[in-house]
Amino acid sequence: MVTNQKKTMEKHPQLILCTCPDRGCAENLANTIIEQRLAACVNILPGVISVYRWQGKLESSDEILLLIKTHNHAYPDLEQLIRQLHPYELPEIIAVPIENGLPAYLNWILE
């Protein structure tokens, strides 16, 4: 039982994906996330075209993708911040666990 509790208390690196409608939104989110120390790094990738179905209609949008490097302990606050600042009714917020990587880089994320 103690082992399970210890595992849930450990920090684990995560990559959060979040699309934004424009550069201003992306930069505002990235800067706020870093200022509030909710991530170690945010990459802003322009030129994403998203194709999806929304409210029964096929949609296509030019978007900007944020790659947010953080850890599982920061996720709840990060999600809350994105939901507060993001203009979309339903923003994309996807957390992907990072299983492997350069150990020194992963430690930097966790610090």
- Secondary structure (3-state) at 27: helix
Q: Is residue 4 part of a domain?
A: no
Q: Is residue 1 part of a domain?
A: no
pLDDT tens, position by position, 38-87: 999 999 999 999 999 999 999 999 999 999 999 999 999 999 999 999 99
**Taking all residues of the chain, what is their mean pLDDT, rounded to a whole number?**
93
Higher per-residue pLDDT: 3 or 71 = 71
Q: Is residue 3 part of a domain?
A: no
The tally of domains found in the chain comes to 1
CATH of residue 93: 3.30.70.120
Q: Is residue 94 part of a domain?
A: yes
What does the block give as tokens for 104? 């020194």
Q: Is residue 92 part of a domain?
A: yes
Q: Is residue 5 part of a domain?
A: no
Q: Is residue 6 part of a domain?
A: no
26, 66 in Cβ contact below 8 A? yes
- Across residues 16-43, what is the average pLDDT? 98
| DSSP string of 50-95, one letter each residue | EEEEETTEEEEEEEEEEEEEEETTTHHHHHHHHHHH--SSS---EE
Q: Is residue 74 part of a domain?
A: yes
Range of the domain at 76: 12-110
Q: How far apart, in whole angstroms, are the C-alpha atoms of residue 25 and residue 42?
A: 13
